[in-house]
Chain A
Amino acid sequence: MNKKWLVISTAAAVVVAFVAGAAFLRERSTQEVTQAAQTNNDAFVRPHSPVFGNPAAKVTIVEFFDPSCETCRAFYPIVKGIVNSSFGQVRLVVRYAALHKGSDTAVKIIEGARPQGKYWEVVEKVLADQPRWADHGNPQPEMIWDTVKDLGLDVAKAKAAAASPEVEQVLRQDTADMKALKVTGTPGFFVNGTPLRDFGAVQLKALVDEEIKKQKAP
């Protein structure tokens, strides 16, 4: 009987140590991320960053976005809904985190379409077609060009823009900011500079609501 308890209490001790270790590491990384957000205040929004919603909105959702990321695809309608139902109080700023193979090419294609005013149409098309072109083992981002033709895009012009040094610089700056802000997964959300630590759609909405309330109560 004693030995049975030895087995059970050993198992329990290991489980407790595991949970405590996980909680400790999580707390430490929360501190690091919060500190990185505070010290790199200028890294959230750059002049080149695309904005969705009212540009003068008081609450800013910064999303580090990867066009080949499935979770980013799932979050797109959620974030769009938050902005659209906010009566101009919330805006979305898109930053790129090209973490997958081929993502950098996809980002360049999206940015290449931007001068023609087709940015959000292309983003939606790219996300809708993601299962086709963004196989993580064998990504084929060049396929995006075929699918965006229907949007009335001047493809030759967009290709030239995609290959421009300006777009290269956008990608480089966003990658540097992603590292400075310690974003390791996508989508990486910040609401008015506060990192979304407890990941989820409900949690994101709660964080946005909290910031809206803060803005209303001076």
Chain B
Amino acid sequence: MSTMQQPARTEHAAWTPLFLAWVIALLATAGALFLGEVMGKTPCVLCWYQRIAMFPLVVILGVGLLKSDGHGVGYALPLAWAGWGIALYHCLIFWGVVSEALSPCRQGVSCADADVQVAGVVPIPLLSLVAFSAILALLLLAKRKVRT
């Protein structure tokens, strides 16, 4: 018998949460690109770091789904945690909880700018935080299901 580890089959247990996490990452990626490239909003520095965490999730989770390979969770989780942390920090700056002096956006587009809102109502960092939180929850759920 081969000692090589078999890919964690995800068809039954963890497929649905992984699929939902991927859909959220896909929509967030498409949304960020739409705001930036089509509507012409320049992303601020913190937005870029969140993009760096979000965009690869589409690929990692997508390939995992196509191959029915649950190991993708392990690669996706650090990205999701990193993005979640930056999104939280960005929200704190946006709401003024973290002082303006600590803001790393001295040049270019301000991360605390009111312009970072969709339709003038929902702040983009909040959308990002919600997306990363949902992805994290779904990934943690999938991780449990892959193990059992």
Is B truly associated with A? yes
Q: Is the CB of A184 within 8 A of B34?
A: no
Majority secondary structure of chain B interface residues (helix, strand, loop or mixed): helix
Chain A residues in 8 Å Cβ range of B11: 3
Interface of chain A residues 5 through 24 with chain B (CB within 8 A)? 6-8, 10-11, 14-15, 17-18, 21-22
Q: Is the CB of B26 within 8 A of A3?
A: no
* Interchain nearest-CB distance for A4 vs B (Å): 6
Q: Is the CB of A10 within 8 A of B66?
A: no
Q: What separation, in Å, do the CA atoms of A100 and B5 have in the docked complex?
A: 58
Q: Is the CB of A3 within 8 A of B65?
A: yes
**Does A25 touch B at the CB level, under 8 Å?**
yes
Q: Is the CB of B26 within 8 A of A4?
A: no
Q: Is the CB of B26 within 8 A of A10?
A: yes
- Least CB separation from B62: chain A residue: A7
**Does B15 touch A at the CB level, under 8 Å?**
yes
A7/B33 contact (C-beta < 8 A), A14-B27, A21-B38, A137-B107 known: no
Count of inter-chain pairs, beta carbons less than 8 A:
36
Q: Is the CB of A17 within 8 A of B30?
A: yes
* Interchain nearest-CB distance for A184 vs B (Å): 7
0/1 interface trace, chain B 34-51, chain A, CB 8 Å (1 if under)? 100111100000000000
- Name A25's contact: one of B19, B27, B38, B62 (CB within 8 Å): B38
Chain B residues in 8 Å Cβ range of A25: 38-39
Looking at chain A, what size class is its interface with the partner chain? 10 to 19
* Interchain nearest-CB distance for B16 vs A (Å): 10
* Interchain nearest-CB distance for A141 vs B (Å): 18
Q: What separation, in Å, do the CA atoms of A26 and B40 have in the docked complex?
A: 11
Q: What separation, in Å, do the CA atoms of A3 and B15 have in the docked complex?
A: 9
* Interchain nearest-CB distance for B47 vs A (Å): 18
A10/B23 contact (C-beta < 8 A), A4-B66, A17-B30, A137-B107 known: yes
Q: Is the CB of A18 within 8 A of B34?
A: yes
18 pairs, A vs B, C-beta closer than 8 Å: A3-B65, A3-B68, A6-B19, A7-B19, A7-B22, A7-B65, A10-B23, A11-B26, A11-B62, A14-B27, A15-B30, A18-B33, A18-B34, A21-B38, A22-B34, A22-B38, A25-B38, A25-B39
Nearest 6 CB-CB pairings of A with B:
A22-B38, A7-B65, A14-B30, A18-B30, A14-B26, A4-B66
Chain A residues in contact with chain B, CB under 8 A? Answer: 3-4, 6-8, 10-11, 14-15, 17-18, 21-22, 25-26, 137, 184
